[in-house]
């Protein structure tokens, strides 16, 4: 696999983590109460942070040749 293909897969993982964070936050706020809401929100914010870092890395690394 080339470097461009690896970056593409990594960026898809980052986007997937961001989408997962959206789903978990929505679930935690609409359907869950108490400690479960806190746990799901905590996991969602971790996914949001990691996904954001991955996307930031891909954007800052620039185009691959």
pLDDT in tens, 11-34: 999 999 999 999 999 999 999 999
- Is the pLDDT assigned to residue 65 strictly greater than 80? no
Question: Is 15 exposed, middle or buried (CB count within 10 Å of its CB: 0-12, 13-18, 19+)?
Answer: middle
- Reply yes or no on whether the pLDDT at 1 is more than 90: no
* pLDDT at residue 48, as a whole number: 98
64: pLDDT strictly greater than 90: no
- The average pLDDT across 59-63 equals 89
| Residue in the block written with tokens 């996914």 | 47
- Under a CB-based contact definition with an 8 Å cutoff, are residues 44 and 1 in contact? no
Give the pLDDT score at 36. 95
């Amino acid at each position: 696999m080339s470097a461009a293909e690896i970056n593409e897969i990594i960026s898809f993982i980052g986007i997937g983590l961001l989408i997962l964070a959206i789903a978990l936050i929505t679930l935690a706020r609409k359907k869950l109460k108490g400690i479960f809401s806190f746990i799901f929100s905590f996991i969602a914010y971790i996914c949001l942070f990691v996904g954001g870092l991955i996307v930031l890395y891909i954007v800052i690394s620039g185009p691959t040749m």
